[in-house]
Structures are given as C-alpha cells and as structure tokens.
Amino acid sequence: MARRKGGIDRDALREKLIAVAEALVLQGGPEALTARALATHIGYSLGHVYNLVEDLDELVLLVNGRTLERLYDTLEEAAEKAKPGHKVHAIAAAYLSFCADNARMWSLVLGHKLPEGRALPDEYAARISALPVLVATELKAMFPKRSSDMLKRDVASLWSALHGLGTLEHNGRLPLIGAPSASVLAKHLLDTAFAGMKDK
C-alpha cells in the first residue's frame, strides 16, 4: 500500500479548483462555470477535474457552502453591531445587501437545483439551518413572553419572507409588482410583524 503524502497535494488542488470556480462565477456568472474553463485555469487537463471532484454539482455545492459561510458571518456581525431592539432589522438589511453585493455568487446559490434523488451534504444543510437561528436568538430576546412554538413560527415565516424579498429583488421582479426596494419592504414587514407580536 503505497500512499502518497496523504492526499495533501490533492486537497490543495481541490482548494484551487474551488477558488477558480469562485473566480469564474464572479467574473462571468454561473454560466461561466464549465468543466473546460476550470481545467484551463487550474492548469490541468479536462479529465483531471473529474479526479478532483465527483461532479460539477459537487463543486457548486462546495462553492455555495463558502458563500453561505460568508453570509453567516456577515449576518452575525451585523447583529452584533446593532442596538438590541434593532438586531433583526440589521440582519435583514445585511442579508439583502449581501444578495445585492454578491449577485453572481448568489445566482449560483439560488439557481442550483441538485438532481433529484440526491441528498444535500450534511455540512451544506447545516449551513442553511444555521442562518435563521440568528434571527431566533434575537427574537427570543425581544419577546421573552412569547411561547417557543410561536417563536419558531415567527422565525420560519420571517426568514421565508426575507428569502422571498431577496429572491424577487435579485430577479428584478419587485418593480413588476409595484414595490419599492426590498430593504424598505423588509423594514415595513418587520415593523408590522413586531407590532402584531407585541404583548402576546
């Protein structure tokens, strides 16, 4: 059994592959993420891409995982910096800014549909699950009397709403429904929702 250094080189190359993938999407959008472009930019043959990664789907998930990680950090930081009663607003604003500022990477996240029958990697699923927890933490602090069942639904519905706002803005559909910017809508939604949650 003659292994090499322990797959270290291969891991490094995988990292480079991910970095190149990110750069390609950043520059040309999701359509630019092709196997041949990857091969060219990492300086290896086309076939070798498939020795580093199972699929392009797997690669996309790896890239999207990084994006979700950055998003998490951004939201966490926004919540930290904001004043206590304003943290959810800050998270929402940061979320929408992130989508706008990272439009191409976000397209890759939104646009990727993994072939059915194939499950999301646990790590990836965890990255998604972690996001609304940031909201849950702040909501619990803001509405301590509220039941945890209610809070669960609050979090899920508000997070879904935020996702809807981000998606519609990302696709340029907000003007179609006669709406102002997503950030204005987010503030409005949170204000009315909080008003409805008051003392309950």
Partner DNA sequence: TGACATTATGAACATTGTTCATTAAATTGG
Partner DNA sequence: CCAATTTAATGAACAATGTTCATAATGTCA
Site for DNA, rule CB under 7 A: 1-5, 7, 9-10, 13, 33-37, 44-51, 55-57
Q: Cα separation of 150 and 177, whole Å? A: 30
Amino acid identity at 83 = K
Question: What single string gives the DSSP state of each residue in 165-183?
Answer: HHHHHHTT-TGGGT---HH
Report if residue 96 touches its own copies, rule: CB under 8 A.
Answer: no
Q: Name the helix (H) or strand (E) containing 53.
A: none
What residue 163 binds from DNA, its own copies, none (CB within 5 to 8 A, per partner kind)? its own copies
Report if residue 161 touches its own copies, rule: CB under 8 A.
Answer: yes
Q: Which of 17, 33, 92, 189 binds its own copies (CB under 8 A)?
A: 189
What residue 51 binds from its own copies, DNA, none (CB within 5 to 8 A, per partner kind)? DNA
What is the CA 65 to chain-centroid distance, rounded?
Answer: 8
In a 10 Å sphere around its CB, with 0-12 CB exposed, 13-18 middle and 19+ buried, how is residue 23 labelled?
A: middle
Helix (H, G, I), strand (E, B) or coil at 118: coil
* 25's tokens: 């999407």
Q: Which of 12, 46, 141, 156 binds its own copies (CB under 8 A)?
A: 156
Stretch that binds its own copies, among 3-11, 14-22, 87-95, 149-157 (CB under 8 A): 149-157
Report if residue 191 touches its own copies, rule: CB under 8 A.
Answer: yes
> Measured from the CB of residue 69, what is the shortest distance to DNA in angstroms?
23
Ramachandran angles phi, psi of 69, nearest 5°: -65, -45
Chain contacts with its own copies (rule: CB under 8 A): 107, 111, 113, 120, 125, 128-129, 131-132, 152-165, 167-168, 171, 173-174, 176-180, 182, 184-186, 188-189, 191-198, 200
